[in-house]
Amino acid sequence: MDKKNIDWSNLGFGYVQTEKRFVSNFKDGKWDDGQLTDDATVVISECAGVLQYAQTCFEGMKAYTTEDGRVVIFRPDLNAKRMEDSAKRLEMPVFPQDRFVKAIEETVKANLDYVPPYGSGATLYIRPYMFGSSSVIGVKPAEEYQFRVFTTPVGPYFKGGAKPITIKVSDFDRAAPHGTGHIKAGLNYAMSLHAIVTAHAEGFDENMYLDAATRTKVEETGGANFIFVTKDNTVVTPKSNSILPSITRRSLMYVAEHYLGLKVEEREVYFDEVKDFAECGLCGTAAVISPVGKINDHGKEICFPSGMEEMGPITKKLYDTLTGIQMGRIEAPEGWLYEIK
């Protein structure tokens, strides 16, 4: 296929409608075969479960053009497993993992001419999602569901490189200890909107959420996990049952240990020790790593030695290695890159 006539180098991080999307419906206790469609609209009852009680979950991943011209998706099997966990927690029917990966493949293949070329800095973002589609007026799970996948080409999250950001310690709680913080439910993101709008209005880029039970331990931001680097170059990430198991974070920790030979720790991180770290970053699909230069704790600033000008040295190595793997410049661990043929 010929690439679309898109100015890839100036593409923003937003929605651009592509030609095909995948749709499958759950009815009478089973999923249908699903199909690709040109129709980008969703038609549901005004009383649909998703509209009344926010019964929905989603995933996010990217397709890349590698240095040698292949189109690959990064670890879609982990997204399939995470969506299964989300569906079970929200009393939704599981879309089988093998069918999930196949649906992703079909959708990307149908939109190959929207996959940005290697070296443009752009990628094809993939959004699988599921929602309760049948009418529900009493508080209970819907009986019918729809699973969909759409794609959109996106530019780099940071134009001109990732400059360190300033975040604040939030007074809001992101997730309860036995709530839904560990799944990718739409409701988690809806409740974070007020906190992020408030942070932006106060001049900050993001929030640091502490654990709701004691407010002494670092959890995550509204849409990304934390990674820290100690002064002796140990890579540390918070451990909690109420944070989302980020695929990017898990991949970065593997890269740190097996590619860079660094010591890694997944453990509870107390806020009191944050001031002693050398580097801090937020990790997720969209940006891979967003370096953090400063944290504002109700007027008291924590400034990391890595500074406000560029990524810290270890964070930069992690970023360069993982993006090198994703783009095919560095050999990937077996199974990490799913090739579209």
What the block records as the tokens of 19 is 């030609």
- Measured CA to CA in angstroms, residue 109 lies from 127, 273, 292 at distances of 14, 47, 36
> 270-282 as b/e, with b when 16 or more CB fall inside 10 Å?
ebeebeebbbbbb
- Measured CA to CA in angstroms, residue 27 lies from 92, 144, 257 at distances of 12, 5, 45
Amino acid present at 26: F
CA 110/CA 123 separation, integer angstroms:
15
Beta carbons of 129 and 152 less than 8 angstroms apart = no
> 64-83 as b/e, with b when 16 or more CB fall inside 10 Å?
bbbeeeebbbbbbbbbbebb
Beta strand pairing call for 279-284 and 225-229? antiparallel
CA 217/CA 173 separation, integer angstroms:
12
Residues labelled catalytic: 184
